[in-house]
Amino acid sequence: MNKWRHILRTAAKIAAGTAVLAALGFVEHRSDSMPVRDIAVEMDMGSGMHFIDKDALRQEVVKGAGPVIGTPIDKVDETGIEQRLRAIPCVAEADVYHTMDGILHVRARQREPIVRVVNADGSGFYIDKDGWTMPLNENYTARVLVVTGQLAEPFANCAPVNVAAGRDSLLTGTHSRAIHAMARTMQADPLWCALFTQAVMDAEGDITLVPNVGMLRVRVGDGTMLAARLEKLRSFFAEGIPQTDWRRYSAIDLRFDDQVVCTKRINS
């Protein structure tokens, strides 16, 4: 008798498990064939810059995938939508997925430029915090460090390139990697972010920082020792001259070891 009870209990458990799996399969089948009833867009704007918004992102989804609303969820190419969104120069990441209630979810993160490069011919582009180049946007201008000078960087009209980590042949003979490193150093310190809004780079790659007040120029070399030289400038400001006396000098040169060389303004 006990043997038969054990067999019956085992059979009942198997039957129950089979029923659960069948029900789950039925639910999954129904959810896959459910039409999309809405698109939910989440956009991480980073530090508040607005190169693209939710509405523009939604339009990109519909433009690339056709009429999404009303389409069975299993007919929507979610991977293809992700790839199209990631191809937008100002989009760093994009994920697309659906839920059982018929909602197509689109989550994206915007790139965060930290420097704008302006070439000698007037062309320009941004470089984001991770080193990726970005084209300028006719509808929005980011308030970031601007680098001008005798530059001919070839990234104004090409697909995004990672100037920090890439080994693209386009990087040969360019200054964008050094510009990105300089911008990262400047961005890491609130004092330098507030004080310097422009930098000028000559043809050899030497950098001159331009404060947002006064006519002072700060020469820092090619940027390889920028952090140490800026610390030297911090000490000089703290122990040498107060901000009100900057007008007495036309330039401060930080390129020499253990020295801060100041050039007095004529008639100061």
Q: Quick one: what percent of the chain has pLDDT higher than 70? A: 82
Please give the mean pLDDT across all residues of the chain.
84
Of the pLDDT bands very low, low, confident and very high (cuts 50, 70, 90), residue 255 is very high
pLDDT digits (tens, 9 = 90+) for 198-242: 999 998 899 999 998 777 899 999 998 999 999 998 988 887 666
Is residue 26 over pLDDT 50?
no
* Residue 14: per-residue pLDDT: 57
* Residue 22: per-residue pLDDT: 42
Is residue 110 over pLDDT 60?
yes
- Tell me the C-alpha distance between 175 and 157, whole Å: 17
* Residue 213: per-residue pLDDT: 77
Of the pLDDT bands very low, low, confident and very high (cuts 50, 70, 90), residue 24 is very low
* Residue 31: per-residue pLDDT: 55
Of the pLDDT bands very low, low, confident and very high (cuts 50, 70, 90), residue 29 is very low
7 or 161: which leads in pLDDT: 161
Helix 78-86 and helix 54-65: axis angle, to 10°?
A: 130
Beta-carbon contacts of 218 under 8 Å, excluding residues fewer than 6 positions away, are 196, 208, 209, 210, 211, 233, 251, 252, 254
Q: Which two tokens stand for residue 169?
A: 């042949």
75 or 166: which leads in pLDDT: 75
127 or 11: which leads in pLDDT: 127
Of the pLDDT bands very low, low, confident and very high (cuts 50, 70, 90), residue 264 is confident
148 neighbors 210 (Cβ within 8 angstroms)? no
* Residue 240: per-residue pLDDT: 66
pLDDT digits (tens, 9 = 90+) for 55-64: 988 888 888 6
Helix (H) or strand (E) holding 96: strand 91-98
pLDDT digits (tens, 9 = 90+) for 41-54: 999 887 778 898 88
31 neighbors 73 (Cβ within 8 angstroms)? yes
Mean pLDDT of the region 131-156:
93
Of the pLDDT bands very low, low, confident and very high (cuts 50, 70, 90), residue 32 is low
